[in-house]
Structure 1
Amino acid sequence: MKRTLLLLLFALVFPSLSFAQKQSRLPAPLPHPFTKEENVFAEKHSQCFHQNKYNAKQRRAFFPFSGAVTIKLISYQAEIFGPDAVIYGEKGKIISGDKSERDTVSVLTAMAKNKYYLNFRKIKEIKTLNVAGIDSLTDILYNVGYTPVKKPTFTIINGASCYEPRNAVLFIDSKGNVTQYLEVCFSCMHHFWSSSKVAEIEYCDNKYELLRKYFLSQGIKYGADPKTINNE
């Protein structure tokens, strides 16, 4: 009798467990279609908004600015990796002939923790920032962010699927070593920080345009001026 009851109980419970397992494997339901009001809020939220959130001293205290003795801007020939990649040599000219003659070393290569080798053969332009230049850069990074709106449902993120960086910000220590860097691709509107320790920065809709104009104001044209890319 007990055995019959156990079998009956198992027959009733097992299908429920099996159904629950199948349910847990189903994909999460898609979010509801966004309303016109939600889209308006998201569009407004994505626009850049400047507020004096941090003063110059506070901004310089953020990593990696805090540990840098010198900060430089550079431009370099775009590095496109893959089977169809074109390898460029000194002054951006395509090198023909034997592969051993080609400069295959990346612009920035990790050598040790917080130490990167800089391949000067690929550098097109370089500019050392003064205090005013550093403060202008940190103002764009830390004081320009998303426009505050009432409960944005989602954030619009712009950018192309490509990534061909031609510009970077170098953070250099007292020994002349590049300890960290910020890589920027203005044509694709993407970036890369060498460290995950960098404080969260909001890349609002016009952020890359502001950074592009900043590079131009500092005399770095290649990569920041679209004409330099179109003429490659």
Structure 2
Amino acid sequence: MTDLRTLFYAASDLAGRSFADIAQQHGLHVPADLRRHKGWVGQLLETALGATAGSQALQDFPELGVELKTIPLDARGKPLETTFVCTTPLIDIAGLTWENSSVRNKLQCVLWVPIDGRRDVPLAERTVGTAFLWQPNNDEERLLRNDWQEHMDKIALGEVEQITAHQGEVMQLRPKAANSRVLTEAIGPNGERIETLPRGFYLKTSFTWHIIQRTFACYDSP
């Protein structure tokens, strides 16, 4: 994409289109469901919009400084699941700050693409919603920074295995691995190297619902 306006218009043009329609246009096969194809919808939209980062630890559109995130919604328009941000460094974290963190880099400008997440609707028939751009305001960045700092402090103190998904006001830290045999190095309680499951940062659904409310000025009905 050459500029932000072109990217936004391209994403907006996907609104109302089914996954089957978009997949056919790009020569892709629609799986029966997402149980063995987690991430397929995100890959579909990356292809449709020409994302260039692939699996690199970059924004999806590094030339524009924009990250692409899909957000599955229920029938009421509420997020159905947490949103993965990025993997978490567990060693060699001296000198790492919020300002140079991958979390801040990924979330400085996000192109959100809502999608129909209703499991009773066949995957091929589900549709894309209205895309929107978001940048965290001062209060949102403060909340993200506080959670990031709390989690990273625990990692530095060798307490990574004591962190639970309940911690963090807007962003949680939890294991991210294909299976329990995938391990990585981390700092242990006595400063030693230990093996543990990889971790990832995830935005909580309450926070992404807040983002939707702020963007579209919608609120729960009484």
What TM-score does the superposition give when structure 2 sets the normalisation length? Answer: 0.26
Relative CO higher for 1 or 2, CA cutoff 8 Å, sep ≥ 6?
1
> Greater CA radius of gyration, 1 or 2?
1
State the TM-score, normalized to the length of structure 1. Answer: 0.25
